[in-house]
Structure 1
């Protein structure tokens, strides 16, 4: 089905942010994801935002003229609007729809929420953002209700204004959503505890939205059910898959929601339970799209977001994706700047193999997995078959009466093998 677009314009204040141009480019992409085709931008350089109109009133006269000239349907603001700004702007622009950056991101999350939990999280974030906007919405929401207070759920009580009624309903719904999510969080924590106590290494893939996290997971697993999309925030729920390293070592790789500039705090709070899964990982892959000119800027955003989420000091491995888009000299230059990074093209099978070899070395270097040599007599090789689903084999040397096998696994499983060996 062909996408249907409405006409939009971006209004933004440039206070001197170094990434301002990137903010606008990103907002255009975000708008495109919800069917808003941006025709042009109105940008004003100021030290601060105008308290009444976001931009100066003179700029708004220009805006009104542009709206009429280009037949604009919606005005998109690059920042979250205050209640008073929103009221003044709506009064000035009349029937033209206005939305801010946060509302654009919330709408994308709403459209991409597929699981029951993701839908609850998005609804909670939306209501949390909407609630303060009800304050001071005018006389229409200040009329007195006539029913008896407490006469039934969803009815207005005696002396209760429409505004109070709406706020009460939203607060009740927020509390209900929080309780539901709390129950789901308990279930997840139990699952994560079992996973954490298991013998299999857990690795979380984190990164900026559209860095190629899903593409990497698909490349690691050849699973055609993993959704690959150029659109931002196409993945909201955690996707976990088993992956085997070249040694045979099994691991669980998980991909969750991506990060972005100015991610609304309401979304971070609502998705905290999902993001909290990261704290159960043995290691984190910090995935960055190396083909972007400002990849170092996105790396800072990812670093900052990860540090806000993590409870424990979990090893992080920097991985640069999309090396197929760079030439040899460019890659070598970045390698000198980031000597400990791993480089990969998530679409290349050969590159995926090299990536897994490098990552396995890192896991050993950081003692996330360990290696130990065991002697197996010929008659005891059946024991190796019994444990093969939890180990990798680093080397296998034939000796008199059997084999000396260097086994890779988590320390708890290596201890289990020691205890069970004769």
Structure 2
């Protein structure tokens, strides 16, 4: 797909409460792949027109507008059926037509940087493309020659171009699934080791552009973490070590963001990557509180997490970008969401306060636990050895040594109980 194309958005409003937000978001999605939206054609209908998606009269308007404004691409807010796509393309001739799913797939394709992400995007794209071949028309119905089964990939006798294309795509899909299955086995082995480790694992999930990467950068001061205003700039899981003020070491992971009407094929293709949240000890559900429609996005994130979450992983609601709110607005949010944590990911002071609050929340949800341990003065070297797995909440000096309140995962405390009295 070329950059800097003129586009028109075409959408049918069947009564969705978030319809206006869908269109605003589609416009933003288009801008991420170089489509400059010139116009929008919106039609209120109870259902989609079977032939042209919008009514025939509106469609004739579309044809004229495409010519008048030199439109390169027409973007539909919903997936088109094969017959709709064929009918529309016949009248729009050389003008490119794409739907919302294809826009999102294109963004994922451009942002895929790791080998696995590229495989996942290709799988999602081919899985989406396969059913569309049925409606490709007469040009794919020609009979081909050549010997089939020679290993050259040529068409066999009597095999149409349509059948040949479908066979090739099915073969490629099968190959991609096998490659991703192998990578998933490796990941599951790594995740099991991580799950059995004594270090707390936290996954950051949220709406795309909620500030997940910015939060991770703020927690780690790692300037190598990519911060982008573009949607879906992070497709692969990004993992970093974070140390709480108590000294408690924790692994934070940032993965792909969510969005309205995220294509099912994408979720299925990225299932192995998203499945990592099932190995987390806790999930940070990050929401941009400065947006007017944050509650809608919270519901979308909640529903998406519930669709991929298998294990009973505690969810911690975190509102980001509180620096954009007034004090009155912040107080109002605290009343509405008393269990939520607030943070400004770009503020060091806010990050410090956030980590203190998050640690208390981890204790509240039993993600970590605290135990008081007595160390004689001569045994304080043992405490130093433990610091790679623990945090220290308090330390009180007595006549014979120190009473230390330790923070750690339960499995580490159980190990410690066997080695020394608690």
The TM-score bracket by the shorter chain reads over 0.9
Q: What secondary structure, in the 3-state scheme, does the structure 2 residue paired with 1:168 have? A: helix
Answer yes or no: is 1:79 the counterpart of 2:78. Answer: yes
Report the TM-score when normalising by structure 2.
0.98
Question: What SS does structure 2 have at the residue aligned with 1:355?
Answer: helix
Are the aligned partners of 1:212 and 1:289 in contact in 2 as well (CA < 8 Å)?
Answer: yes
Question: How many residue pairs get matched?
Answer: 420
For the pair 1:336 / 2:335, whether they are aligned, the reply is: yes
Number of the residue aligned with 2:305: 306
Give the whole-Å Cα distance in 1 for the aligned partners of 2:398 and 2:228.
Answer: 52
Matched, 1:225 2:229: no
On the 8 A contact 2:123/2:177 being kept in 1, the answer is yes
> Within the alignment, does 1:404 sit opposite 2:403 as a pair?
yes
CA deviation map 1:74-96 (0-9, x unaligned): 10000111111100000111111
**2:165 — aligned with what?**
166
> What is the alpha-carbon distance in structure 1 between the residues aligned to residue 5 and residue 365 of structure 2?
52
Structure 1 residue aligned with 2:240? 241
Counterpart residue number, 1:108: 107
Q: Post-superposition shift, 1:403?
A: 0.7
**In 1, distance between residues paired with 2:291 and 2:399?**
56
Q: Match for residue 54 of structure 1?
A: 53
- Aligned equivalents of 1:153, 1:350: Cα separation in 2: 63
- After TM superposition, list the pairs within 5 Å mapping 1:223-302 onto structure 2: 223-302=222-301
CA RMSD of aligned residues (A): 1.0
Find the residue that maps to 1:131 and give its secondary structure. Answer: helix
In the alignment, the residues of structure 2 paired with residue 323 and residue 176 of structure 1 have an alpha-carbon distance, to the nearest angstrom, of 46
Q: Offset at 1:144?
A: 1.0
Post-superposition Cα deviations, 1:352-409, rounded to whole Å, max 9, x if no partner, equal 1111111111110111100001111111111111111100001101111211111000
Deviations 1:159-216 (A, max 9, x none): 1111000000000000000000000000000000000000010000000000000000
Consecutive unaligned residues of structure 2, counting only runs of 5 or more, are none
Match of 2:84, SS? helix
The aligned residue for residue 357 of structure 2 is 358
* Greater Cα offset, 148-157 or 372-381: 148-157
Deviation at 1:153, TM superposition (A): 3.6
Task: Name the CA distance, whole Å, in 2 between partners of 1:331 and 1:19.
Answer: 25
Deviant stretches of 4+, over 6 Å: none
- Cα displacement string for residues 114-140 of structure 1 (whole angstroms, at most 9, x for unaligned residues): 000000000000000000011032221
Distance (whole Å) between structure 1 residues aligned to residue 89 and residue 150 of structure 2: 36
Assess if the C-alpha contact under 8 Å between 1:151 and 1:157 holds in 2: no
Specify the alignment match of 2:89 in structure 1: 90
Structure 1 residues without counterparts, runs of 5 or longer: none
CA contact (8 A) 1:149 1:158 kept: yes
Give the TM-score normalised by structure 1: 0.98
Q: Distance in 1 between matches of 2:257 and 2:340?
A: 20
SS at match of 2:370: strand
Match of residue 15 from structure 2: 16
Question: 1:4 Cα shift?
Answer: 4.8
